[in-house]
Amino acid sequence: MTEHVEWSEPEATAAPANAPVTPADAADAARLVAFGLQPKLQPARDQEYTELLRRYREDPPFARLADAVAAGLGLVVLEVSPRAGMAVTAAEDSVFAVRMGDYARRASTDSGDRFLHGLAHLAVAALAFPRPEDLADDGYIGRVSVNGVDAFVRQACRRLEERAEETGENTDPATDAPGLEAAWRIWARRSSTGATKDARRLAGSTTGIIAKAVAFLTDSGFLQRTGDDAGGTYRTTARYQLQVRDMAGSAAMAELLELGIVPVTDGTATLLPAEDADDLELVAGAGLPFHS
C-alpha cells in the first residue's frame, strides 16, 4: 500500500484549503468511486473519468473526500492513477465482497472443491507473476493460459509425489480422516479435463476450475482475454497486480505464518528447483519441478 503514502504526502505538505465541501464536490467524489466500481472500464476511454482522476491527484481535499466515500461504502482504495484508474477493492465483510459459497456452489459443502477453487486463484497469480520482481514492476504484464496453470500445478504435485516416493513415505490418506490428506493429492487426483455430452468444459475438472477462475478475474477487470490457445490465454491488468501485491498475497502470507510456517527465501531465487533433494522442509525453493 505504498501508493497510499505516495499520494497522501503532497496532501500533508500542501496548505489545507479551508474552502467548504459543497454537495457538488461530494457528488463528484461519489461519481469517481462509482467509476472505480466498474473495474472493466478503462480511464482513457472515458473523458469524465479521466477528468475526475486528474482532480483527485491535484486537489487533496477532493482526494480525501473520495477516500471517505469509498471507506464509507466498505471499499479499500489500492491506487488512483491514470493506468489503473480508481482501483478499489472490497473490504472484509463489505457488501461488495465475493463469497466462496456464491462463487461455486459445490465449494460450500465439499472442502476438497473449496481448496481446488482457492488454489486455482493462487496458481493463476503465481504463474502470472513468477518472480518477485514481476509483482513489483508496475510495467510488467503477465501472461497465463488455462492449460498452462494446470500443468504448472500438476508439475509441482508430481515433484512432491516423487519426493514422497524417494523417502518411502506412504501418502495415501487414512480412510477416516480425509482432512489430513496432503493438499497436493487433491489436485493430482482430480482429472484435468473430461468429455461431456454437450462438448463444454467439464466444470469439475481442474481445467474447468481454472477456467472459472480466469473468467471470474476477467469480469473483475483483472485479466484480459487474448486468445483461445491452450484452453484460453489471458494477460494481466494493473489492477490485478495491485490486488495480488497489496491484498491477497499479504493476507495469505499472514494466514500461513499463523499456521506456524515461515517460508524463507533470499528474495531472488523463486521458481528454482531445490538444490539438494534431502531438504524436506518444502518451503522456499521447492521450486518448479523438473525431471531429467
Partner 1 sequence: MTSPASTDSVPPQLSAGPRPAPGPAADEGLARRLRALACTAPLHDLDMRKANLAGEYTVYGMAEVALAAIDLVTLNMDFDTGADHEQIVARLVPRIAAQAPARPVAEHERVARWVLENLINVGSVDRGFRAVYGTFAPDGTYVRRDYDFKLIEEVPGYGGSVYLRTTDEAVNVLVGALDTDVTSAQIAAEVKLEVLISRGRLADAQLAAEQARYRTVQYAETLRKALDATRRNVRAVDWLQAVPDMIAEALDHVADRYRHENAILTNIRKARDESEDPEQKRRAAELVDIVKDCIRRHTQLQSRLLEAGPLFRAEQDRQAFGTPMTTSGIDLYGHLVAPVLPLPVERALRVTDAFFKRGTGLRTPVAVRVADLVDILLTPPLEREHLGAEMPEPDLIATPDDSRFSEEQLAAAKELLNLPPDAPRRLSGLLAEARRHDPELPYLVALLAVHAASPPVGTAYRQGEERLLFAVDDGTELDDPEFGGADLIVGMALLDAAGMKADRA
Footprint on residues 157-176 left by partner 1 (CB under 8 A): 157-158, 160, 168, 170, 172-176
User: Among residue numbers 260 through 279, which ones bind partner 1 (CB under 8 A)?
Assistant: 261, 263, 265, 267-273
Residue 60 vs 81, nearer CB to partner 1: 81
**Closest CA relative to residue 264, chosen from 249, 253, 252:** 253
Binding footprint of partner 1, residue count (CB under 8 A): 118
Q: Which three cell numbers stand for residue 256?
A: 500461513
Neighbours of 57 (CB within 10 A): 15
Binding residue (CB under 8 A) for partner 1 from 26, 68, 135, 141? 135
**Which residues contact residue 264 at a Cβ distance below 8 angstroms, ignoring those fewer than 6 apart?**
283, 284
CB of 43 to partner 1, least distance (A): 17
> Can you tell me the distance from the alpha carbon of 243 to that of 241, in angstroms, rounded to the nearest whole number?
6
User: Among residue numbers 80 through 109, which ones bind partner 1 (CB under 8 A)?
Assistant: 88-90, 92, 94-98, 100, 103
CA distances to 8, 42, 43 from 22, in Å? 22, 28, 25
- Are 149 and 244 within 8 A, CB to CB? no
Residue 9 vs 133, nearer CB to partner 1: 133
Residue 32 vs 60, nearer CB to partner 1: 32
Give the chain's length. Answer: 292
Residues 212-251: x/- map of binding to partner 1 (CB under 8 A)?
A: ----xx--xxx-----x--x-------x---xxx-xxxxx
Residue 72 vs 194, nearer CB to partner 1: 194
CB of 225 to partner 1, least distance (A): 14
- Are 101 and 114 within 8 A, CB to CB? no
User: Among residue numbers 19 through 78, which ones bind partner 1 (CB under 8 A)?
Assistant: 37, 39, 75
**Closest CA relative to residue 81, chosen from 250, 219, 216, 237:** 237
Binding residue (CB under 8 A) for partner 1 from 181, 215, 224, 235? 181
Residue 28 vs 150, nearer CB to partner 1: 150
Adjacency order of strands within the sheet including 233-236? 143-145, 233-236, 223-227
User: Among residue numbers 3 through 22, which ones bind partner 1 (CB under 8 A)?
Assistant: none
The dihedral through the CA atoms of 164, 166, 169, 172 has a sign that is: positive
Name the one range near partner 1 by CB under 8 A: 18-26, 43-51, 58-66, 283-291.
Answer: 283-291
> Can you tell me the distance from the alpha carbon of 275 to that of 170, in angstroms, rounded to the nearest whole number?
24
How far from each other are the two terminal CA atoms of the chain, in whole angstroms?
A: 42
Binding residue (CB under 8 A) for partner 1 from 67, 79, 117, 236? 117
Binding residue (CB under 8 A) for partner 1 from 122, 141, 143, 224? 122
Please report, as a single letter, which amino acid is at residue 165: E
CB of 107 to partner 1, least distance (A): 9
